[in-house]
Every structure is written in C-alpha cells, then in structure tokens.
Amino acid sequence: MLFVDARDYSDDLAAWIADSRSKEHDKELTTFLLSRRDLQLEGTLPDKYFNLILNKPILFRRVSMKLQEYFQDQNRKDTGEKKIQAISEKYPVKILVAEDNPINQKMAKMFMKKLGYRCDTAGNGLEAVEAVRRQKYDLIFMDIQMPEMDGYEATDIILEESQEPNAPVIIAMTANALSTDREKCLAYGMKDYLFKPVRLEQVKEMIEKWGYYLQNTNSKNA
C-alpha cells in the first residue's frame, strides 16, 4: 500500500505508479491519495493512479472504516469475478446466439464475454440452421420472432438433422410470457426459455443448468 499526500503529487510520481503496476510483482499495488476535503479531487485523477481518496485531517477511526469498506468491496468484486471465470472453465460449451436485432446481438456477445465465452451469432433462423450444419454447438439461444425463418422452424430442422446425443440444447428467447408460448417452445423440442429483456444472471443460470446436463449426458455416453 502507498499513501500519497496531494501536495506531493506530480507527473513523475504518476509515471512511477503506472510503471510499478506494469511489473508482475507490483500489479496489486494499492495507492491512496490524502487530500483536503475542499480540493474536490474525486474524479479528476485517473483511476490507474489512485484507488481511493482520503480526506484530511486523517483521523484513525474514520480512515480505518474507509479502508475496511474499500477492501471488503474489492474482495466481493474479486470473488464475483472468480466465480464468473470459473463458469467457462467448468462448462466449456460452444454457444450460438440466433437473434435478428443487432443491439440484442451485441448485448448477447457482451454477456458471453463477461462469462468467459466467445459466441457465434446468426441473424435469422436460416443462418442458424446453416451455422449448425457447418459445426457443432452445445447451446443455442434461439430468438422466436426472426425474418427468413423463425425460431420454431429453425429448431425443428436443427433437431431433425442432429443425431442424439449430439443434438444441441436449444433455449428459446421470447417476449411473450404466456404459458401457451412456453408449451409451444417445449413441443418443438426446445429445452428451456428466457423472457426478454434477457439479463446476464439469467444467461449465467442457463449455462450452468444445461452445461451440467451436457456434462452428465456426455459422460454417460462416453
């Protein structure tokens, strides 16, 4: 840990901090800036230089509480990141996202990246069918309403052409929350469904649920 008085801050010091953090043994260097409250430095200095600004006068009890809060928060973040990274290591599945909306495609890729995956995308049902013909996927997140070919027809073709136990797990993505829509998805052979707007936590749960299922299925058929 490094505590720096605001009066001693300089470009040379900032360069030294940046250089130190670039070295393997100092990557975890934590720096705190000691500043008068009236200077209002919060947000004016790059985060890569200082982790936290502590207001002067420095009182032991107040600083102790601030540091405790900071390190508890960092510990929660580190734990969450490790859990997320562990998902892709535990369930190394190949994922395809069939979605015609470009914004939703970007969102899906962002979600997958946060979970440690790189996914392929298809802009409609026909592209999804062609993608599955080119290579094997473990999980397919299938939008229902798409041009050229909807999710139902695409699912029908994919499952018809896939040989068990190599058929992918297909998860429907639909804006309709009616029970009849859920039943229709399952009737077409989809294993599960997500209601839009889709959230990161929902995607994570689906990958964990069906990644575990695929692992057990593959081990039984090995």
3-state secondary structure 74-102: HHHHHHHHHHHHHHHHHCCCCEEEECCCH
Tokens of 190: 């989809």
pLDDT at 148 over 80: yes
pLDDT at 4 over 90: no
Taking residues 27-51, report their average pLDDT: 62
What pLDDT does 131 receive? 97
Contacts of residue 51, Cβ cutoff 8 Å, sequence gap at least 6: 30, 31, 32, 70
Q: Average model confidence (pLDDT) for the chain?
A: 82
Taking residues 199-209, report their average pLDDT: 94
Taking residues 187-210, report their average pLDDT: 93
pLDDT digits (tens, 9 = 90+) for 156-197: 999 999 977 789 999 999 887 667 788 899 999 999 999 988
Contacts of residue 170, Cβ cutoff 8 Å, sequence gap at least 6: 139, 140, 142, 155, 158, 159, 189, 190, 191
Contact 120, 128 (CB under 8 A): no
pLDDT digits (tens, 9 = 90+) for 100-122: 999 999 999 999 998 999 999 99
Q: Which residue has the higher pLDDT, 1 or 38?
A: 1
Tokens of 10: 């300089």
Q: In what order do the strands lie in the sheet with 2-5?
A: 2-5, 31-36, 52-56
What pLDDT does 198 receive? 92
Tokens of 110: 């962002």
Q: Which residue has the higher pLDDT, 45 or 149?
A: 149
pLDDT at 51 over 80: no
What pLDDT does 204 receive? 93
Contact 2, 31 (CB under 8 A): yes
* Residue type present at position 17: I
Rounded CA-CA distance 53/116 in Å is 32
- SS3 call for 109: helix
Question: Which domains are seen in the chain, by residue range?
Answer: 2-68 (3.40.50.2300), 89-221 (3.40.50.2300)
pTM: 0.64
* Residue type present at position 107: M
Rounded CA-CA distance 188/153 in Å is 8
pLDDT at 19 over 70: yes
Helix 102-114 vs helix 200-221: crossing angle, to nearest 10: 70
What pLDDT does 139 receive? 97
Rounded CA-CA distance 84/114 in Å is 7
Contacts of residue 12, Cβ cutoff 8 Å, sequence gap at least 6: none
